[in-house]
Structure 1
Amino acid sequence: MDLRGCRAGWIGWAMALLPLLTTATLAQAPTAPLPPPRPDYTDKPGPEPKVENPASAETPADQTASEDSSLHAACLDRLSKLGLRFEEKPPVQEGRCSIDNPVLLSGLPNGIEVAPASLMACPVAESLARWMSEVVVPEAERQFQTAPTKLLIGTSYQCRDQRDGAKLSEHALGNGVDVMGFEFAKRPPLAIAEQPDSTPEAGFQSTVQKAACPIFNTVLGPGSDAAHGDHLHLDLRQRKGDYRICQ
């Protein structure tokens, strides 16, 4: 066998096989991973900032203050519509004593004067107007055939404890008044006191004292104790179960 012929045959066969091997190797080579996408550096607006609802940020104290303010405004509006004469005053703060919604009351419906002009919480002024209009005026007409012209006040706001010293007086909160008596158009004044039995004065005083009980939460006067023998104490003290004192 010619060695040179064989060598030439092998070389030719290898040359023919080389393209096939190259193609297969390239086909099996793993594909290189693509680079990550290029960041977008254009100036685009970011997300809108989240705005909290202002109302949701209110604290319970804020809500209470807002409610109190609304109630006070409504009370003042009722006083004006009823025809009371008064001045709205700034809140009172004197040690432990305070009034959140004070008014200086000088006159009631039907031209009745409040003497002297007295500082008190707005609801007390409203209750006095109701008592005078619904009870005192008609009872004066029935017993005396005349109209009251003046409501005489002893104490309204006064920074002090109760007489026994147990707690603050309702006067210290502008929540109570002491009525000393009444003046009338066609008869002498009437001072609160132990009235003679079976007299028009006794009938008038007893009726207006008892009829104050559905309007005020505390009513004390002659016959209740020695401390209230010369005046009617009227206040709006809140008690559990809407408990009232009427003596």
Structure 2
Amino acid sequence: MIVRTLALLSAVALTTCGRGGGEGIDLARAMGLPAEVGAICGNPLILGERIADIGGPGSCGIEDAVRVHAVGKVRLSPSARINCQTAQALYEWTTGAAQPVARQAGTSLTGLKIAASYSCRRRNNASSGKLSEHARGNAVDISAFRFANGETVTVLGDWAGGDWSPMLQTVHAEACGPFGVVLGPRANRYHRDHFHFDISNRSSRYCR
């Protein structure tokens, strides 16, 4: 009987290894997310899966890495490999800033286009200099927003003018809080087509 029980527990562990928590499963299925996706990072509205730690080379890598598919019922495309602190900051910004601004415009935010998440590289893809926060799982880049009314708004195409420019400028500004570093088209030419958000420097934020 004991052997049978241990075998059953082992089978359950194998089938659930890498999954998100049991909480959030119904929401993940309702959103059409993959079967392995559930709630992660202690938040029922961060949907994803735990993945293996990501190693080097050098100082690159993420301990306790996760792959996030959705935050606050907003899908990420593609999914983002980050750590839970970054996932929580993204959730706070999405639900506290981006979604309310979308609703003020008469629609709702349904998706974020992820331009970059984990990547072992230096800042701005330079050949030398400081390591990017992407290399530690501390950063996520967003290049477009998708809405329930069918519209897709891009940083490159809509930042400088048009109906959606005020929305983009507002959500960019309000990221400075959940994130310690916020960069966009005003920062430099490397960020003309996306927002860069990372959780470093939150004690003395840098937002451009």
- Counterpart residue identity of residue 207, structure 1: T
1:155 alignment counterpart: 116
Distance in 2 (alpha carbons) for counterparts of 1:81 and 1:171: 22
Are 2:137 and 1:195 equivalent residues in the alignment? no
Q: Which stretch shows the higher mean deviation, 123-132 or 158-167?
A: 158-167
Figure out how many residues of one structure are paired with residues of the other and give that number: 168
Pairs within 5 Å for 1:120-135: 120-135=82-97
Gaps of 5+ in 2: 1-37
The structure 2 residue matched to 1:244, chosen from 200, 205, 208, is 205
The alignment partner of 2:164 has SS state of helix
| 1:124-166 superposed Cα distances (whole Å, 9 cap, x missing partner) | 01110110000000101113x1001111101100011113521
1:168 alignment counterpart: 131
Are 2:197 and 1:234 equivalent residues in the alignment? yes
Are 2:78 and 1:116 equivalent residues in the alignment? yes
Distance in 2 (alpha carbons) for counterparts of 1:139 and 1:82: 22
Distance in 1 (alpha carbons) for counterparts of 2:49 and 2:64: 11
Query: Does the C-alpha gap of structure 1 residues 173 and 81 become closer, same or farther in structure 2, counting only changes over 3 Å?
Result: closer
1:24 alignment counterpart: none
- Counterpart residue identity of residue 148, structure 2: A
Are 2:50 and 1:88 equivalent residues in the alignment? yes
2:149 alignment counterpart: 186
**Alpha-carbon offset, residue 238 of structure 1:** 3.5
- Counterpart residue identity of residue 114, structure 2: I
The alignment partner of 1:100 has SS state of coil
Distance in 1 (alpha carbons) for counterparts of 2:44 and 2:145: 21
1:59 alignment counterpart: none
The answer on whether the counterparts of 2:82 and 2:137 sit within 8 Å (CA) in structure 1 is yes
The answer on whether the counterparts of 1:113 and 1:149 sit within 8 Å (CA) in structure 2 is yes
Relative to its length, the structure with more strand (as a share) is: 2
Are 2:167 and 1:204 equivalent residues in the alignment? yes
The answer on whether the counterparts of 1:161 and 1:168 sit within 8 Å (CA) in structure 2 is yes
**Alpha-carbon offset, residue 101 of structure 1:** 2.0
Q: Post-superposition, which runs of at least 4 consecutive aligned residues in structure 1 deviate over 2 A?
A: 76-82, 193-197
**Alpha-carbon offset, residue 77 of structure 1:** 8.0
Are 2:190 and 1:220 equivalent residues in the alignment? no
The answer on whether the counterparts of 1:160 and 1:171 sit within 8 Å (CA) in structure 2 is yes
The answer on whether the counterparts of 1:146 and 1:187 sit within 8 Å (CA) in structure 2 is no
- Which structure has the higher relative contact order (CA within 8 Å, separation 6+)? 2
TM-score (norm 1): 0.64
Gaps of 5+ in 1: 1-75
Distance in 1 (alpha carbons) for counterparts of 2:48 and 2:39: 12
Pairs within 5 Å for 1:136-147: 136-143=98-105, 145-147=106-108
Distance in 1 (alpha carbons) for counterparts of 2:196 and 2:100: 21
Across the aligned residues of Structure 1 and Structure 2, the Cα RMSD in angstroms comes to 2.1
The alignment partner of 2:110 has SS state of strand
2:8 alignment counterpart: none
Distance in 2 (alpha carbons) for counterparts of 1:237 and 1:77: 25
**Alpha-carbon offset, residue 196 of structure 1:** 4.2
TM-score (norm 2): 0.75
The alignment partner of 2:122 has SS state of coil
Q: Kindly name which structure, 1 or 2, has the bigger radius of gyration based on alpha carbons.
A: 1
